[in-house]
Structure 1
């Protein structure tokens, strides 16, 4: 909950005329601190709004789950009756893969087998049988280790031990990043 001081900070922001916003400049520590107070109050207002919204979302999701579960159980019941019916017809005549009815269609489709793999055992077997073409090897530079042994010269990266410019790395200078932290 916002306290009275925070509410005053927020009201002051909302009531500030547009022309005053455009003319306002931060010129000293007091005006900078004034801005930080406004940011803090506004961020707390956002968090309060999120908390309220989350509580409502949670309540609505709970209601939806409560009213949907019995309906889904009924759907599953009727689907199981239809599947059993279709399985019996299909057992008698395998050509009856599809049964069209006014409110829907019952379908039976062949499926590909499911492969349950233990990749570690499979890789070992492939290696033992000389089938390494079926083993995927991922090569990736160890950048954190390499970075300790390089230095930047201009826009190039040089390997310190040999002085050689490393191909595949360029340096792009970036301006300072300014951030605002509100206590």
Structure 2
């Protein structure tokens, strides 16, 4: 942050306190371009201070995130080691006695659960086969609306959306006039 912005930032809280005190006596209002410029300068300084805080916080967060990821990698490596040796132990017992599906310990359970078959499929080949052999398993697709394409073709007349080709009011569309949106753009 340059010296001018730093000085401006230091004065912000003092200025804001003064404005708040004045605000209790009478409502503070911007009445001319000079005051608007002053307020924009204050907003610019606040944005610069916020950016500085975010940069410092992001650097710390990145450092902490890196530390955390390294620690978790070590934990995951150890976890995978223990899971691997527990699984080998359980599968060995299960091979000798297929009734040993669950092993209980004071800290949890080891379980072997039968899974459903996995069916890998080629959708195109199955659809081609089903057209000839099982047409009842094919689901017809519902047409989808191309909203952006329709919007480009609309003509808005007061609170109605009209098809310019036919002059017909299009049902299902409600036109809502909205107030202009106010934004403040601070140049940094």
Do the aligned residues in 2 keep the contact of 1:99 with 1:106 (CA within 8 Å)?
yes
Residue of 103, 108, 130 corresponding to 1:99? 103
1:80-107 CA-to-partner distances (Å, cap 9, x unmatched) read: 1110010011111211110111222111
Residue of 43, 49, 60 corresponding to 2:53? 49
Q: For the structure 1 residues 79 and 145, does the alpha-carbon distance in structure 2 shift closer, same or farther, using more than 3 Å as the test? A: closer
1:59 maps to what in 2?
A: 63
**2:177 is aligned with 1:178:** no
Do the aligned residues in 2 keep the contact of 1:126 with 1:135 (CA within 8 Å)?
no
2:4 maps to what in 1?
A: 5
Residue of 152, 155, 162 corresponding to 1:151? 155
1:72-87 aligned within 5 A: 72-87=76-91
How many Å separate the matches in 1 of 2:29 and 2:67? 50
TM-score of the aligned structures, taking structure 1 as reference length: 0.86
Structure 2 gaps of 5+ residues are none
1:25 maps to what in 2?
A: 29
RMSD (Å), alpha carbons: 2.2
The size of the alignment, in residue pairs, is 182
1:161-172 aligned within 5 A: 161-172=165-176
Structure 1 gaps of 5+ residues are none
Q: For the structure 1 residues 164 and 109, does the alpha-carbon distance in structure 2 shift closer, same or farther, using more than 3 Å as the test? A: same
CA shift for structure 1 position 144: 2.5
How many Å separate the matches in 1 of 2:80 and 2:37? 61
Instruction: Choose between structure 1 and 2: higher strand proportion.
Output: 1
Q: For the structure 1 residues 149 and 61, does the alpha-carbon distance in structure 2 shift closer, same or farther, using more than 3 Å as the test? A: closer
TM-score of the aligned structures, taking structure 2 as reference length: 0.84
